[in-house]
Amino acid sequence: MQEQRAEQERQRAQQQQQRAEQQRQLAEQERQRAQQQQQRAEQQQQLAQQERQRTQQQRQRAQQQQQQAQQERQRAQQQQQRAQQQQQRAEEAEQKAARLAEKLRAMGIDPDAEEIG
């Protein structure tokens, strides 16, 4: 009888050992799952950071393009102003030439006549 009890106790001890081992394995699996989740979370954070950087770079490129477009508009305006100034100078020169021709005619000189030499 004592041998039977001793055997039962030994079996119970083995069962407890097996349960403890199973619990240890479950705990290890849970630790590994938690570690994998943490790694995934870190990867997602890195991806989010990369996306923020790409977005920032796109914003900077857009700002640069806007600045370049503004500079091009300013250059075009300056060229248009120069063209208008040149046109105005040409008109003024024509008016001056016409006034001088009138003065010459008033003095009896034909400004359109070829030079006699």
Domain boundaries of the chain, sorted by first residue: 1-109
Spell out the residues 6+ positions from residue 105 whose beta carbon is closer than 8 angstroms to its own: 111
The token pair at 7 is 């055997």
DSSP class of residue 107 equals T
- pLDDT digits over 60-114, tens only? 999 999 999 999 999 999 999 999 999 999 999 999 999 999 999 999 988 887 7
Tell me if residue 70 falls in helix, strand or coil.
Answer: helix
Q: Using 50, 70 and 90 to split pLDDT, how confident is the model at 4?
A: confident
- pLDDT digits over 18-54, tens only? 999 999 999 999 999 999 999 999 999 999 999 999 9
Contact indicator for 105, 111 with CB cutoff of 8 Å: yes
